[in-house]
Chains A and B, each alone.
Chain A
């Protein structure tokens, strides 16, 4: 079993007018932790605070049980790779990779030179050693930056948006490389990004940040299906976010009732709620359903079952692998099915359809509180939020 590598308790950091606060988490030695959030949520400030590049206003950071809260960055022995690589153009690639070793007086050690040679070989950059970083591609710069960061074997590698500036193909290759580094080097990685697909592909755990606070912590897949707050749901691109209220029927069973209609979902159980606790009757709630979890069928015969309702197809968008279908029926619903399924249905815009959700796919969160929609990225979901 892996040990606790990094421990952050009640961390509080002031950065200009911005305040990072209530940051609490532990990181195990073999974890790939992703810090996910929109621009301005404080994820980079958090990463820089861990690296020692920010003044800490309160709380504690421990590495291997040792308090490093006020330790300067050069004494922390953490690797750090920035978005654009931050290479020194006035030095060769070799000197860039060796920079940390030189600063620590280890560059003359034959073991370090051997390690550098192995590292650049495995990362596919050995042919670049004598070149200037000026003429490298984005992917090559990123590889050099990674080699430089891990040459002196840090126990934690901090990555600030390492894939953001890369084209899709290079990004994919870099993701594979990051996975390899994570397993081969046996180090803990903290990876900051605003991209949830990166989180799903790389992370063993994710912290969602919002306005200087931790919004949710969990396994990426758990967050994908069961976001804990409206903010998390919107940020990870939950397709159907619907407001309603909790009602109790004559038999004492709880149902989710749509705000704008008589459509009921349920009966509800503890498992339907992110908190695992049943809410009180008449409490506001938000229904979250993934587009792929809404079943779409021909409208005939008429709807009789529970968790089922009629709708009309409004828009159909073809993607390479799937079809997004927007249906209007007591609200606008987004469903997603494979190209093959869609073709078999033989439906088109304007056709009547039947939508249904399995009770186990119903996920509810509290409808209390306010979600800051300003902080959302502009693509992905904005248009589908009711």
Chain B
């Protein structure tokens, strides 16, 4: 039923892409989520809608939009091409697609987690002499941690499974941009069902274990 996997490249690339995307998403998403959870400013709803858009748009539309930006004749792509940098059809584009698509999941979870933090606990820290940065790391982050971890896991899983946008901007180049989802699709297309089944099993078991472990951990945190 399963065949011995001869090409591990899609598995390794998918994991690498998922980890890097989650790192970028955390770096950008946490401060943004915190800002949106606590501050009011003009045009906040507009920004909010723009951030959440990739969650509801078909991935092919996100992929098309990315092509418009980073494609050879794209808004940013042209400038980069002038500097000798090409993003499309490289594994950087895979990371970019996964990051954009998975970003709203992390952002929404983190924002909800920050909103659930009792403002008075932060105020108390201020009266005890802590500045804003210290409060973020020693009070807000530990209190919001379960929600943030949930966001990390969801965005990791989403990045791992990204297909549509990836195909648009990075294609399916074996040994270069082929991830587990694109490899499965083309394996089935070319009638290599057994290879497809092996990859399906790997990604399913892996995702299941991650979600199972996180749920157990979250339950423990509550008690």
Contacts and interface: CB of A to CB of B under 8 A. Distances in A.
B126 A100 contact: no
B123 A103 contact: no
Contacts of A148: 128
A143 to B, nearest CB: 15
A104 interface: yes
B44 interface: no
B125 A82 contact: no
A86 interface: yes
13 contacts: A52-B127, A73-B123, A74-B127, A74-B128, A74-B129, A80-B124, A82-B120, A86-B121, A90-B142, A100-B128, A149-B128, A152-B129, A158-B127
B134 to A, nearest CB: 6
A290 B129 CA distance: 46
Contact of B128 (A48, A72, A90, A99): A99
B121 A88 contact: yes
A386 B131 CA distance: 53
Interface in B87-137: 118, 120-121, 123-131, 134
A263 B143 CA distance: 66
Nearest to A53: B123
B11 interface: no
A149 B129 CA distance: 10
Contact of A72 (B120, B126, B138): B126
A52 B131 CA distance: 13
A86 B120 contact: yes
Interface string A144-180: 0000110010000010000000000000000000000
A78 interface: yes
Contacts of A51: 127
A48 B131 CA distance: 17
A90 to B, nearest CB: 5
Contacts of A188: none
Contacts of B124: 80, 82, 86
A99 B130 CA distance: 9
Contacts of B121: 86, 88
Contacts of B131: 72, 74, 103
Contacts of A237: none
Nearest to A74: B129
B219 to A, nearest CB: 16
Shortest 10 CB-CB contacts between residues of A and residues of B: A100-B128, A80-B127, A103-B130, A103-B129, A73-B126, A86-B124, A104-B129, A90-B142, A74-B129, A73-B127
Nearest to A80: B127
Nearest to A51: B127
B143 A99 contact: no
B interface SS class: helix
Given A82-B120, A103-B134, A88 B126 contact: no
B176 to A, nearest CB: 44
Given A74-B130, A88-B139, A103 B125 contact: yes
B143 A90 contact: yes
A121 B118 CA distance: 30
Contacts of A53: 123, 126-127
A290 B142 CA distance: 54
A155 B145 CA distance: 35
Given A148-B128, A149-B128, 14 more contacts: A52-B127, A53-B126, A72-B131, A73-B123, A73-B126, A74-B130, A77-B129, A80-B127, A88-B143, A100-B129, A103-B130, A103-B134, A103-B138, A152-B129
A88 B124 CA distance: 10
A50 B72 CA distance: 59
B148 to A, nearest CB: 13
A244 interface: no
Contact of B125 (A48, A78, A99): A99
A52 B142 CA distance: 24
Interface string A48-62: 100111000000000
Nearest to A83: B120
A37 interface: no
B127 A79 contact: yes
A6 to B, nearest CB: 15
A245 B217 CA distance: 73
B134 A78 contact: no
Nearest to B223: A134
Contact of A78 (B120, B127, B130): B127
Interface string A64-106: 0000000011101111101000101010000000011001100
Contacts of B139: 88
Contacts of A99: 125, 128, 130
A88 B157 CA distance: 31
A298 B134 CA distance: 72
Nearest to B128: A100
Contacts of A76: 127
